[in-house]
Structures are given as structure tokens and as C-alpha cells.
Structure 1
Amino acid sequence: MAENTTRALSEVLDYLEHSVQGQKVTIGSLVEELGPHSFASLMLMFALISTSPASSIPGVTAIVAVIEFILVAQMILGRDCLWLPSFVSCKNLSTSKLCKGINWLRKPVHFVERFLKPRLVFFVKPPWLYLPLAVILAVTPFMPFMEVIPTSGSIASAAIACFAAGLLTRDGLLAMISTLFLAAVPFVIWHVGFSG
């Protein structure tokens, strides 16, 4: 998959749609479709799944959180190829709900792409890159518990998707804003859901 293009987000949706065949699709087949070397694209793809109506599939937010945690950990460790444990890669997803999610995402994705461009590129390169990756690593373990509060998991996933979009298009400003937002999400959700 070609990265750093203005259609980076749409390309991920295209690849995702192409891989959706039959009644069920496995996580492993989605990874193979994009390529296990495409860390930013994979991060974006799974975050978009959890952001879309496909997140209504039971356990999707939790499994996406596990994938994002493993993916980011391997990025920090400098791995060239994504490895997922078998219990994750063999997980089945409903193709009908995925297709509905993809179609739902098309319009907002096309809108966002109009504003993406390379800027503040230093933030999406080492050593600065490790800061947002560390934030994602810290937040994803809490995402399965966010399902207690409706849409909160999707909000966190949307922030990760924005960061991945910034990484793909070298838009450091978007990556920076999404990192700040992601870091604040757990505190906001705690305040809204559990205070007074």
C-alpha cells in the first residue's frame, strides 16, 4: 500500500472493503490484505473499525484495543513485521457489519482528507514519535472498560485513527492534536461517567 498520500485514509478503506468477503472475515486476513509491514495503515484500519458502527459487534472494542497495544509495542521495539497471537488473528468479524461501517466512514474520511498535508513532520519521526506511541500504549488497556460508557471506546479509537492518519500523511499537527486529545479521554470519561 502506498503511504504518505492525500488519499491515505480512503486507501485503507478500499483495502479493507476488498478483503471483506463471505459472511465472516478474520483479523489475520485483514492484516494480510494491508500487509504486516504497514504498521501505520494497520493502526488506522483497526481504529476505524472501532470508530464505525461495526464497533457494535460484541467485543470489537476490546479486541481492537489488544491489537493496537501489540502493534504500538512492536513499533516501539522496532519490529519490521507485525505479529499477532493466534487467538487474535483467528478472531472472526461479521462482514455485513464491517461493510456498513466502511460505507458509514466514507463521507467523514473524504472530508478529513481535504485538510491533511505534511507539516510539523518532526512529530511523526523519532524521537518525538515515541511520545504519542507511549500515550496509545498507556490508554489502550483501559479501552475494554470504556464499553461500560456508550461510545467512549469509539471516541478513543477516533483519536488513535486521527493519529494514524497524521502518521500516514506526515501531518504532525494532526498527530499532535490527536495525542493530546487521546491523553485527555480517560480523564474526561471518568469525570462524565463516574463523578457525582
Structure 2
Amino acid sequence: MSGKHDLHSMKEVLEVVAEAGDGDQVSVDDAVKEIGDDAFAPLLLIPALIAVTPASGIPGLSAVCGIIIALISVQMVFRRECLWLPQFILRQSVSRSSLQKARDWMVKPARVIDWVTRKRLSFLVRYPFSIGPALFCLGAGLCMPFLEVIPFSASFMAGAVSLFALALVTEDGLLAVLAFGLIVAAGYFAWTTLV
């Protein structure tokens, strides 16, 4: 299924996801169908952004977002043409009102981020270099379920994944470099907290 939208900004991704489906609940499947199962970077951005918003306070939500991030990332590493997610993930849903609140919470930061992003160092987010960000996102996604016990650390990881995904969406390699720094900082924070 090819995507209905050609997404090149954070605001565009937020708007499309908030309007996905047609009921009171928006499922992962609705978002995938709306964006397209071949648009890996925007699909990676969605769970990462959800895990950064206040909605991440819902118990278990960061863990689910981390699993989705890991599943998308591993398929990016192996360069699958179409995304596959298990049915139990596709059935996960959130109320449309909660999703729209999260979208509204992100609108102002999205405008600022979209204003500063542009195509630069684009080779860093194109194959074969794009495997690097995908591997980092895979590692971050696998860590997120375990980081729920450490306040804010899962959100740090999700923030880094958001930057990586946005770097891929906008072809801004500088964002990928910043995301790498954020993941290193989050890993250091988690390590010093646990040790």
C-alpha cells in the first residue's frame, strides 16, 4: 500500500495521524493505512512523538511505543519494501481526543522544528548511512520498555528517535547528529541512575 501523502515535515505527519481512521478510536492500523506501509520514516516518527508527549505518562504506553519503534527500525535495517507489524500491535488504539490533544501540544514545537530543518548533510540519512540511524532507533526502541522505571529516560530515548525519524523525513543529516548526542546523553543518564 503506497502512502496517500508525501510527508516532509513534522507538522504534516501530526496532521495526517490526527485525522487517520473514522471512529472515536485511532488504531495503529489506521495510521499505517493513512500514511502508507512503505513510508517508514513517518511511521517511525509517530510512536516516538507519542512517547515524548504527556500521554507517555499512561502506564505501559512507552513500552508499546518502544516495541513499535524496534519493529519498524529492524525492517528499515533490512530494507523491507513494506512494513509488517503483528496484529496485536495493529489493534492498539488511542482515543481520537487524546491523539488530537497530543497533536495540539506538539503543534508549536513542530512549527519551530519545521522552520529550522532543511536538506543538509543529506548523505547521512541516505543508504547506506541511513542504516546507522535505523540501528540506533532499534537499540532505543528495545531499551524503552525497560526504561519506564527510570523517570524521563524513556522520553529521552523517544526524543532521540523522533530526531532520527525527522532527519529521515526532512533529509536533514544535522538532526541525525543531534539525535546521536541525545541517545548518548540518555544512555549515560540511565547508566549513572542504575549504577
1:17 equivalent in structure 2: 18
1:160 equivalent in structure 2: 161
1:88 equivalent in structure 2: 89
| Separation of aligned partners in 2, 1:20 and 1:97 | 14
1:73 equivalent in structure 2: 74
1:169 equivalent in structure 2: 170
1:120 equivalent in structure 2: 121
| Separation of aligned partners in 2, 1:51 and 1:155 | 8
1:2 equivalent in structure 2: 6
Deviation at 1:122, TM superposition (A): 1.1
Gap change, CA 1:24 and 1:56, over 3 Å in 2:
farther
Give yes or no for contact 2:71–2:85 (8 Å, CA) kept in 1.
Answer: yes
1:5-154 equivalence runs, <5 A: 5=8, 8-19=9-20, 21-154=22-155
Give yes or no for contact 1:43–1:164 (8 Å, CA) kept in 2.
Answer: yes
Structure 1's consecutive aligned runs of 4 or more residues displaced over 6 angstroms after TM superposition are none
Greater alpha carbon shift after TM alignment, 32-41 vs 20-29: 20-29
| Separation of aligned partners in 1, 2:124 and 2:60 | 32
Q: Secondary structure at the match of 2:47?
A: helix
Alignment RMSD (CA, Å):
1.5
Deviations 1:23-45 (A, max 9, x none): 32211111111111110111111
Q: Secondary structure at the match of 1:2?
A: coil
| Separation of aligned partners in 2, 1:98 and 1:190 | 32
| Separation of aligned partners in 2, 1:150 and 1:115 | 29
1:194 equivalent in structure 2: 194
| Separation of aligned partners in 2, 1:126 and 1:183 | 23
Deviation at 1:21, TM superposition (A): 4.8
Q: Secondary structure at the match of 1:87?
A: helix
Deviation at 1:129, TM superposition (A): 1.3
| Separation of aligned partners in 2, 1:159 and 1:20 | 28
| Identity in percent | 35
| Separation of aligned partners in 1, 2:114 and 2:122 | 17
Deviation at 1:20, TM superposition (A): 6.0
| Separation of aligned partners in 2, 1:135 and 1:120 | 18
Greater alpha carbon shift after TM alignment, 177-186 vs 28-37: 177-186
Q: Secondary structure at the match of 1:150?
A: coil
Give yes or no for contact 2:24–2:96 (8 Å, CA) kept in 1.
Answer: yes
Alignment coverage as a number of residue pairs:
191
Give yes or no for contact 1:116–1:171 (8 Å, CA) kept in 2.
Answer: yes
| Separation of aligned partners in 2, 1:143 and 1:186 | 11
Give yes or no for contact 1:136–1:182 (8 Å, CA) kept in 2.
Answer: no
Gapped regions of structure 1 (runs ≥ 5): none
